[in-house]
Structure 1
């Protein structure tokens, strides 16, 4: 493996960072909102599944009278 000096490494890093396509503020806000919506949907889904499983186990064990 070829060794590079620190200056050459920093130049390579800078050229790679220049190739990155950074999201716009609008894209970041929309993506953040979508993440919060998906988290809320997942929370509701797992709440419903947990309640159904709790009810089912209680019914099977006979403690849900």
Structure 2
């Protein structure tokens, strides 16, 4: 493995940094809203599943 000098490393990092395409404010906002909506939907789904399994387990334990 070839050694890289610190100066060459910094130049490579800058070159790679110039290739980065940052999302616009609109894309970031849209993505954040989508994540929030999905979080609410999934939390309600898992609340329902957990409540159903809890009810089934309570019913099974009441039979014993």
Could you tell me the TM-score, scaled by structure 2's length? 0.92
Unaligned runs of 5+ in 2: none
RMSD: 1.1
Q: Could you say which structure has the higher helix fraction?
A: 2
d(CA) in 2 for partners of 1:38, 1:2: 47
Deviations 1:14-48 (A, max 9, x none): 00111111100100000011111111111101100
Pairing 1:39-54 to 2, within 5 Å after superposition: 39-54=39-54
Unaligned runs of 5+ in 1: none
Runs ≥4 residues deviating over 6 A: none
Pairing 1:1-65 to 2, within 5 Å after superposition: 1-62=1-62
Larger RCO: 1 or 2 (CA < 8 Å, sep 6+): 1
